[in-house]
Amino acid sequence: AWAALGAGLSLGHPDAPEQGHAFMVKSVEIAVTVGLYFGTWMLFVGLTAGIFAVLGFQPSGETMQAAAAWGIGAVPLLALATVCDPSRTPAAQRWDTGLARLLRILTGIFLPLALAVLVVYVGWFIPAYFWRPFQEREVLAVYNATIMAILVLMTAVLTDPTEQRSTAQETSLRYQLLALGGLTFSLNLYALAAILSRTLEYGLTPNRYAVLGWNIATLLMLGLALAGQWRAQKSDWASAFRIALGRGTALAALWALWVLVGLPWAF
């Protein structure tokens, strides 16, 4: 449903891929806001229950369940209303204030850290423990979760299309993203080889089918992003990167839709 909403907000615009990228960034911002609001709500409910407990009044289990359910239903709507301006397209949202600005700062901090971790991951851990994802699905799951986390990081790091950076900052950010994307592409190839090996050895199951398609979709996303950056001029590489990720996300969304709707009929 969320992917359908993103498609509806993005398609029909001449810059549909950039609109799609902006929608993805806003989705990350909304998810973070939901976490903050829900944590605050649960803290409020817990403190309220504690205060009443001190006074000798114990709320019933039904009351606590109703409070939790109300929070689960209301918090996402509140986060959506807080973060998004319904009168603007995804790309025309405000990016210079509030959580969007904080998200940009955090991703800028974590980008070099993620790059350093991935260098150790690909340069040391994989050669030292090469066959583990071929033999242990838990390790393969960690690799796929890592790929997903890095894709989210790469998507969120370029939140504001109007942000002004110095030439040195532009160059540094571009090559950090190229290096991170290249290493993640290698990790994705490795994970794809592992799931193919497990499929050939143990047979095709719904879980392996879904993971196999997901690995192919993320590999194409990374390939599009890297190719777009590599071919782009220095002046418009960020726009090319956003467009490539926006196009690649459509593949991932289509695969997720197929897994949810078509997979039960295929097995």
List, for residues 236-245, the tens digit of each pLDDT value: 788 788 778 8
So what's the pLDDT on residue 8? 62
Interval 109-113 mean pLDDT: 85
pLDDT computed for residue 221 by the predictor: 86
Q: How confident is the model at residue 191 (pLDDT cuts 50, 70, 90)?
A: very high
Per-residue model confidence (pLDDT) at position 97? 62
Domain boundaries, the chain: 5-9+15-92, 98-266
Pair of tokens at residue 246: 């926006």
Q: What is the pLDDT of residue 86?
A: 72
> 38-85 pLDDT, tens per residue?
777 777 777 767 666 665 677 677 777 777 777 777 777 777 777 776
Distance CA 6, CA 49 (A): 39
pLDDT of residue 40: 76
CB neighbours (10 Å) of residue 23?
24
pTM of the entire structure? 0.71
Tens-place pLDDT, residues 154-173: 887 876 666 666 778 778 88
